[in-house]
Amino acid sequence: MRKIISIFILFIFLHSCSSDPKKVEVETIIPKTEELVATINYDVIGKFPHDLTAFTEGLLFHNNQLFESTGAPADQEQYKTMIGILDTLKGKLDPKINIGRDFFGEGIVIFNDKIYQLTYKNQVGYVYNATTYKQISKFSYSNKEGWGMTTDGINLIMSDGTNILTYLDPNTLKPTKTLNVTNAGYAEDNINELEYIDGFIYANIWMKNYIIKIDTKTGKTVGVMDCSHITDEAHRLNPESDVLNGIAYDPATKRMFITGKMFPNVYVIKLR
């Protein structure tokens, strides 16, 4: 009898608790719908040697030449922060600008006969004459870090290691707008080297073996290039190779050039 009474009391207690809206907290979880992102197919149509001492931070194609900017990790004396032109036959970087080891050089872009260069943590950028390579000026930015650079022909566009791209006025070098980048509905952090191609921004993602294609109107990733076979080959040929980083584009031939830090080759890509 006591057992029956105990069960009845327990039932009354549970029922009273469940009927009290203050005691019952029901969390409705609505799963986020993932957006489909297309795979970008391409062919590797060629390759040429790359400087094994180049800690690549930026790559661009200008006047039929490949310009490259490099950084210099503090604990590795063999690397230098410089901007140079890559000799595609010998695989050596011909330095044109050297800012020493006090600053870690990052992405570059050439716009209106000027070279713009970011630095990693100093919140300062440099402007050079694109013909003489003499420094014209320097500028500051509020982003905590500087990573990659490109241009849409109107603005300069920079990445800072987050999922946010900052558009800069090339005259004042002040921000005009930002673009939040997402991939399948989620923020795509660690955006690194940039290249503007036919209305879209292609970007390396630090520590990832893929390149994303960004819709500049929405910030959404609309395509992904799997480059794992390229990085696998680079690491096999040079075990000291680091991460994928470096995208350049020749609009005349519609060829892309892809490399990475201390990669043994620059890979020539043709999109299908």
31-35, 171-175, 198-202: range with lowest mean pLDDT: 31-35
- pLDDT value at 16 more than 90: no
| Residue owning tokens 């390396």 | 204
Q: How many C-beta neighbours within 10 Å does residue 74 have?
A: 8
6-20, 167-181, 204-218, 234-248: range with lowest mean pLDDT: 6-20
What pLDDT shows up at residue 28?
39
| H or E stretch at 12 | helix 2-18
- pLDDT value at 270 more than 70: yes
| H or E stretch at 136 | strand 135-140
Instruction: Write the pLDDT tens digit of every residue in 97-145.
Output: 998 878 899 999 999 999 999 999 999 999 999 999 999 999 999 999 9
More confident: 22 or 193: 193
Q: How confident is the model over 42-56, as a mean pLDDT?
A: 96
What pLDDT shows up at residue 60?
97
- pLDDT value at 18 more than 80: no
Q: Which two tokens stand for residue 47?
A: 């390759």
* For the chain, percent of residues with pLDDT exceeding 70: 87
Name the band, by pLDDT with cuts 50, 70 and 90, for residue 162.
very high
Name the band, by pLDDT with cuts 50, 70 and 90, for residue 34.
low
- pLDDT value at 22 more than 60: no
Instruction: Write down all domains in the chain, each with its CATH number in brackets.
Output: 34-271 (2.120.10.30)
More confident: 3 or 142: 142
| Residue owning tokens 């011909």 | 94
Alpha-carbon distance of 137 to 209, in angstroms, equals 35
pTM of the predicted model as reported, rounded to 2 decimal places: 0.86
Closest CA to 56 of 96, 90, 106: 106
What pLDDT shows up at residue 239?
97
- pLDDT value at 166 more than 60: yes
What pLDDT shows up at residue 102?
81
| Residue owning tokens 């879209």 | 200
Mean pLDDT of the chain: 89
Instruction: Write the pLDDT tens digit of every residue in 56-107.
Output: 999 999 999 999 999 987 777 777 889 999 999 999 999 999 988 788 999 9
* For the chain, percent of residues with pLDDT exceeding 90: 81
**Burial state string for 77-110 with b = 16 or more CB within 10 A and e = fewer than 16:** eebbbbbbbbebeebbbeeebebeeebbbbbbbb
Q: How confident is the model over 141-167, as a mean pLDDT?
A: 98
Q: For residue 72, which phi and psi values (nearest 5 degrees)?
A: -140, 95
Alpha-carbon distance of 137 to 219, in angstroms, equals 31
